[in-house]
Amino acid sequence: MTQFAPDVFCLTDDSRCQIDLPRVRFPEAPGSEAVPWQKLEIEEERLAAYVFTSGSTGTPLPYKKTWGRLVNCVRLEAERLGLLDGRSHTIVATVPPQHMYGFESTVLLALQSGNAFSAGRPFYPADVCGELASVPQPRMLVSTPVHLRTLLAADVHLPSADLVLSATAPLSQNLARETEQRFKTRLLEIYGSTETGQIASRRTAQTVDGSCSVAFAWSAMRSEPGPREATWSSRRPCATSSK
């Protein structure tokens, strides 16, 4: 990271943070004093993040993400997942927000859909189930096939969830069906990549021969000038966000 951006630093509100970078501690808001929210206008084309590939085929490669593209992607996701139905949903995740999937489907998804994101970072099956049970319904679990398989194999009580989201690896139909049955829910699988963001989803338990994926609106690949600038576009324009 320091080779890519020598001036990088870590902004954190966690006193236990031990990351080997210069750290800036974000102060906690006063408990007794109400702090009014200020509306922020962020330009669509403002560079918001560099995200890196996993490095499975070599050195991790950085990709630029503008605020408009990120917002457009997660708003389409929120619509597809049914998070814009007027209820207050809570997101619990087993994936870290520094992963592209976690970044879009936890932090940004909560910000752009007006819902809540649990600050817990559960890892073991009992911790995941405890965190999920502790938040109000409707609630969504954002996870992976590996984590779901471990949860189902563990001798723990599985609380109900209104939705389970899975990505990062192929999800078998048997695992999808068992997840839906045990969590008393529906499961959607997300398709995408670091380069493109999220592209499509499917309800794996009900697909036939791996078909029936639903695209996030109409999408197509395009290449733009400059290194590693491939992205996907939709016929819906990116909107400037107030969050």
pLDDT digits (tens, 9 = 90+) for 19-77: 999 999 887 666 656 677 777 889 999 999 999 988 777 888 899 999 999 999 999 99
Q: What is each CA distance from 98 to 49, 77, 156, in whole angstroms?
A: 11, 18, 28
Task: Work out the mean pLDDT of the chain and round it to a whole number.
Answer: 84
Global confidence as pTM: 0.82
User: How many other CB atoms are there within 10 angstroms of residue 40's CB atom?
Assistant: 8
Looking at per-residue pLDDT, the higher value among 211 and 239 belongs to: 211
Q: Does 204 score more than 70 pLDDT?
A: yes
Position 138 pLDDT exceeds 90? yes
Is the predicted pLDDT of residue 221 greater than 60, yes or no?
no
Identify the CA nearest to 143 among candidates 135, 132, 157.
Answer: 132
Percent of the chain that is helix, strand, coil (3-state, to 5): 25, 25, 50
| Extended strands (E) in 160-212 | 163-166, 187-193, 197-202
What is the pLDDT, as a whole number, of residue 229? Answer: 43
Q: Work out whether the CA dihedral 28, 111, 92, 149 comes out positive or negative.
A: negative
Report CA 228 to chain centroid distance, whole Å: 22
Do β-strands 163-166 and 139-143 pair in parallel, antiparallel, or remain unpaired?
parallel
**Nearest CA among 209, 207, 151 for reference residue 179:** 151
Q: For residue 138, say if its preceding peptide bond is cis, omega within 30 degrees of 0.
A: yes
Using CA atoms, how far apart are residues 193 and 104, in angstroms rounded to an integer? 11
Give me the pLDDT at residue 79, please: 93
Over residues 67-102, the pLDDT tens digits come to 999 999 999 999 999 999 999 999 999 999 888 999
